[in-house]
Amino acid sequence: MFEFAVEATAGAARAGTLTLPHGSVRTPAFMPVGTHAVVRGLHPEELRRLGAQIILANTYHLHLRPGEMEVRVMGGLHRFTTWDRPMLTDSGGFQVFSLEGLRTIAEHGVEFQSHIDGSYHTITPEISMEIQWSLGADVAMQFDHVVPGQAPHALAEEGMDRSLRWLDRCRARHAELSDPGGLQTLWPIVQGGTHADLRRRSVDGIVARGPWTGVAIGGLSVGEPKPVMHRVLEELEPVLPREVPRYLMGVGFPADLLEGISRGVDLFDCVAATRNGRHGTAWVPDGRVNVKGAALRSDPGPLDPECDCEACTTFSRAYLRHLFMAGDMLGLRLVSIHNVRFLTRLGEQARTHILDGTFDGWSRAWLRRHYARGAT
RNA sequence: GGUGGGGUGACCGAGUGGCUAAUGGUAGCAGACUGUAAAUCUGCCGGGCUCUGCCCUACGUAGGUUCGAAUCCUACCCCCACCA
């Protein structure tokens, strides 16, 4: 349980297998995001077909609706959703960042005002652990303090130090809740913004509190320039534990996956696949396709000729465009399906190339082609 | 044939003497989106140019009143309703 085996490396890139109570995850892997205990628009069976090995859900949002006890009474997230493969819950820490303006931070915890009905809800490290325990995912994340990408040293330091203190409280509460050899593990999150010294202190603090079954990198892709994110990953790579999976939270776009994998990241999650899917942007090897664009009006070809997903093997670009123009939910679903498949497949391809020793050249060529048309 | 109502930019629809190239909405076009307050949001949307401004065309058609009209007057054309 909670084992991670590295099977091959290519420079910093790794191919491994993570074993969790509900199954194993072959890495590198993209984890689709299902904040409200649903990957928006997608059926669990579709996710399985798309090669999703593990999906996320969110502590804060499920606490508000339907409430963790409701989920627990229904048998936990797996029974509730019928998703029987591994799951991971985010702690609500990201909402400290994304819901700025609806929350106030204190050392004790964070008070949120619900965007749904205006009611007040306090999340502390302990409460986050209790909620996540009730939800029952394979992996719970520590409650952390995420600051914006352009945060100055002092603010980034405050968030980083607080995250370490909160990690201690999370671990203590999680240990109380957890049976020996329990079915849920807890992962810490490296913070420190874009500042090398803070990132280093964060890793040191986490390692000193170890061992862990996985380590996350948080506070990236939150407004900092892309080269800065790459620099931070490069600085972290040599000091992060090698024997556990490294999870880059909230990333990313296709190119970000490859950039991350080549810098030693094993797991990713991102809402962009489904959000962009709903908003009509599809990822393709040559960049992106605006599904609503007039150029597709009478294009009989597939969205991405190289893709094996249902949208690409069944429908024309013209029809997909029509579905968006007609405002039908099938269009939103199909492009979401494609984007999720694009990322799970990218993980599979990277893994194959790491295992057979061709990762470097392949990923360089892939990125060159993808960036050629101005993709980000 | 008579009476009344009405004809506004791709469509619907405000405006009833100057602040009107003309409110809104729809459609259209482009862009954004990275641990989801997002099937959302932003911009453009008569034409042209030497493009922080200028010129042309435009509110059924033609004329008129006025310093100035989509807005007032006259005639005509067309649409709708009711009456014959």
Looking across all nucleic acid strands, the nucleotide with the smallest C1' to CA distance from residue A279 is B39
pLDDT of A230 higher than 90: yes
Say if residue A374's pLDDT is above 70: no
A259 touches strand B (CB under 7 A): no
User: What positions of strand B are covered by protein, i.e. any atom < 7 Å from a CB?
Assistant: 27-41
Q: What are the tens digits of pLDDT across the range A258-295?
A: 999 999 999 999 999 999 999 999 999 999 999 998 88
Reported in sequence order, the residue ranges of A218-257 that DSSP labels E, i.e. its strands, are 246-248
What DSSP line would sit under A12-37, residue for residue?
Answer: TEEEEEEEETTEEEEESEEEEB-TTS
Q: Could you say which residues 78-117 of protein chain A have a Cβ atom less than 7 A away from any atom in strand B?
A: 90-91, 93-95, 97-99, 101-102, 115
The spacing between the Cα labelled CA in A146 and the C1' in B37, in angstroms, equals: 17
A177: CB within 7 A of chain B nucleic strand: no
Is the confidence at residue A216, as pLDDT, over 90?
yes
Nearest nt to the CA of A88 via C1' is: B35
Length A310 CA → B83 C1' (Å): 64
Q: Average pLDDT, whole number, for chain A? A: 95
- Judged against a pLDDT cut of 90, whether residue A179 lies above it is answered with no
Q: Is the CB of A276 under 7 A from strand B?
A: yes
DSSP label at residue A307: -
User: Residue A376 pLDDT > 70, yes or no?
Assistant: no
Q: Is the CB of A61 under 7 A from strand B?
A: yes
Predicted TM-score (pTM) of this structure: 0.93
Q: Looking at residues A65-83, what average pLDDT do you find?
A: 96
pLDDT of A71 > 70? The answer is yes
Q: Exactly one of A84, A90, A138, A304 is catalytic; which is it?
A: A90
d(CA A295, C1' B15) / Å: 38
Q: What is the nearest nucleotide to A147, using C1' and CA?
A: B35
Q: What is the pLDDT of residue A373?
A: 65
**pLDDT value of position A372:** 79
Comparing CA positions, the residue from A366, A314, A362, A349 lying closest to residue A335 is A314
Between residues A327 and A185, which one has the greater pLDDT?
A: A185
Q: Is A286 a catalytic residue?
A: no
Q: Which nucleotide is nearest to A56 (CA to C1')?
A: B35
Q: Quick check: A181 pLDDT over 70?
A: no
Report yes or no: A357 and A62 within 8 Å, Cβ to Cβ. no
pLDDT on residue A163 = 98
Q: Who contacts A280 (Cβ-Cβ below 8 Å, separation ≥6)?
A: A290, A291, A292, A324, A331, A335
Question: Over pLDDT 70: what percentage of chain A?
Answer: 98
Percent of chain A with pLDDT over 90: 93
Catalytic-residue membership of A269: yes
- Choose the weakest-confidence range: A111-125, A176-190, A264-278: A176-190
CB of A297 within 7 Å of some strand B atom: yes
